[in-house]
Structure 1
Amino acid sequence: MVRKMLSAAFVAATLTTPVQAQDLGDIVGGVARQYLQQEQDRAAFAQAQSQNTIRGYQSYLQQFPSGLYAAEARQQISRLGGSVDTRDDPYAGGSNSAGLSRDQRVAVQRRLNALGYSTNGADGNFGPGTRRAIALWQRDRNYTQTGSLTTAQANEILRGTAVAGSSSSSAGASSGSAARAEDDIGLSRSQRAAIQAELTRRGYDTRGIDGVFGRGTRGAIASWQQANRMSATGYLTVQQADQLAR
């Protein structure tokens, strides 16, 4: 499907005169990004359908307020007896919170981008792109995918540490420590994609090579670590990342 879309974009671009190489790359890249966003939209709505709860559909709408299935999600919320108005984002500067400053919001976006979660810009505005990035970040850390940050999550992104007083188990604390250690490496999206490609080449299926470390990639990393007698955390150390990215 992706190949067909990219081929169509290539034909359309070459029929336009004149077309520079850079322009053609932008066109094809734009088609690929659009396809990826549509797939994320479908996946998010499928998750909401599997939950079939008011909160699940509201979570979808927070991530994709103008998504492909937004109208259907609102219908389902009404059917379940809920309101189509999602709760205020505690970081939108609304009545529920003093909110993050604009500089802090920009810092959150830049940090998410550095971790491989594209926000489609870093302007301090938490739009659909940032909501998707936050939801993916939450998913990879086993948080509820709301697309909105709690105070603890904002601190974790901005400072690389969780808020004190967590009641996590020792195993959860160990996993959180491994996740923060990987965050500190600062892998770019291209480096993450290279790691996914190498894991796939070695027989560990990451379920895609997109530069985003989702559940498939975490499972592949853990399997690779276990096979090489390492602690199977699903998160990479500096040495492991260097070994896979070269």
Structure 2
Amino acid sequence: MVRTMLSAALVAASLAAPAPAQDLGEIVGGVARQYLSQEQDRAAFAQAQERNTIRGYQSYLQQFPNGLYAAEARGQIERLGVSLATRPDPYAGGDASGLTRDQRIAVQRRLNALGYGTNGADGNFGAGTRRAIALWQRDRGYTQTGSLSTAQANEILRGTTAGGGGGQASATGLGPADNEADLGLSRSQKAAIQAALTRQGYDTRGIDGAFGSGTRSAIASWQGANGMQATGYLTAQQADSLLR
């Protein structure tokens, strides 16, 4: 294919007005570079199609924002996003084979505590919760469906803190993760807490407003150093102390 395109370029150049050898070389080199770029574009899009995930198509667009398949990639991202948001809820009704409303709220709280924002914890699995579930599934190597299997729901409900234990549940049945989720900390507040911990020598591995494993470990270390139970999750009083 490359030989055919180069031959065509040579023929076109020979039919035109005589040009210096250097100019002819530039023409041939330009054709070759264009072909190579197109092949890279095709290969990147084929890889995105094979993955068929929002992240895969976004990765393609980062490499080729104006590529041959950019419009198609954006269309696929929109289609996948709508699919996650409108997928029927397999746990609707909270029957014996699914989740009760309280369990659904607990799942949302756990996801929020793990850094996967659900845009609320009301027991309704809307678009925000679907996106959070899909991201959770991605990070654990599951197929990104946006819907939980019973085993996955149980895995979330049994979740513990990063690098340790989740602490004991309170008399209300809520654990440290649930109580922190109920604080409704904004991304900017979380970033401010990370900055405060970092200033005090507790490395959160970044100040991004997302409480990942680094932040959980930093919180636990800070709690232990200050005579508190090292759960890795903040109480309202602890959060207020770090935000001052």
Give the greater-gyration-radius structure (CA): 2
Query: Is the TM-score greater than 0.5?
Result: no
TM-score bracket, normalised by the shorter chain, equals 0.3 to 0.5
